[in-house]
């Protein structure tokens, strides 16, 4: 089965990254997510999800979108999948805006908020699937993997571990995915 939204996300992110490399003034000053205030513009809630901090950042995010996106788009259909991704991106951006309000004003970029929403949805739709924890390499049921990953993100965000990573955006994306799939499961159980 074809997965047009997943393919679009991959192509769009890669194309915009190539534009980032070519733009002399860079795209980050205008399109990254800046804290509320002077540099903030509403479109940044979406545009920031298509910018990346480097090749590795892009590669990791696109590998995740490709890995989880294909199965999720097949299970949900293109429109529901797009809604899942969009809500996750917006939830990630909103959460990050709240989190950085209390810190120093730095821009946020990356598709990882959307990816974390996909990860949450994957755990809900495929609870018996195993995901491989990298360190140590242990296969875990998808829901347990997500809970452990979320706990790490919360710890890292609160303590400042791995600074330069938008841990709260990741948690916001995860919450967005849970919100979309929770509503879907709630509707199914009422029928």
CATH number at residue 35: 1.20.1540.10
Residue 181 is assigned to a structural domain of this protein? yes
Total number of domains in the chain: 1
Question: In sequence order, what E strands does 74-144 have?
Answer: 130-133, 138-141
Residue 53 is assigned to a structural domain of this protein? yes
Residue 70 is assigned to a structural domain of this protein? yes
pTM equals: 0.93
Residue 186 is assigned to a structural domain of this protein? yes
pLDDT tens, position by position, 47-105: 999 999 999 999 999 999 999 999 999 999 999 999 999 999 999 999 999 998 877 77
Tell me which residue range forms the domain holding 35.
4-125+169-190
Quickly list DSSP for 12-71: HHHHHHHHHHH-SS-SHHHHSBPPSSTT--TTHHHHGGG--SSHHHHHHHHHHHHHHHHH
Average confidence score pLDDT of the chain: 93
Catalytic residues: 112, 170
Residue 16 is assigned to a structural domain of this protein? yes
Residue 89 is assigned to a structural domain of this protein? yes
Residue 138 is assigned to a structural domain of this protein? no
Which range, of 6-15, 71-80, 136-145, 157-166, averages the lowest pLDDT?
157-166
């Amino acid at each position: 089965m074809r997965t047009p939204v997943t393919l679009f996300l991959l192509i769009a992110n890669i194309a915009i990254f190539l534009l980032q490399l070519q733009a002399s003034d860079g795209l980050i000053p205008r399109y990254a997510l800046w804290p509320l205030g002077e540099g903030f513009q509403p479109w940044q809630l979406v545009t920031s999800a298509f910018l990346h901090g480097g090749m590795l950042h892009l590669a990791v995010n696109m590998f995740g979108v490709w890995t989880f996106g294909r199965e999720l788009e097949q299970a949900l259909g293109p429109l529901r999948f797009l809604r899942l991704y969009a809500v996750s991106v917006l939830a990630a951006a909103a959460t990050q805006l709240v989190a950085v309000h209390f810190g120093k004003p730095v821009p946020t970029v990356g598709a990882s908020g959307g990816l974390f929403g996909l990860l949450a949805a994957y755990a809900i739709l495929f609870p018996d699937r195993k995901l491989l924890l990298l360190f140590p390499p242990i296969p875990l049921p998808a829901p347990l993997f997500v809970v452990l990953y979320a706990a790490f993100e919360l710890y890292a965000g609160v303590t400042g571990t791995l600074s330069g990573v938008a841990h709260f955006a990741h948690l916001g994306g995860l919450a967005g995915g849970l919100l979309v799939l929770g509503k879907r499961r709630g509707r199914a159980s009422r029928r």
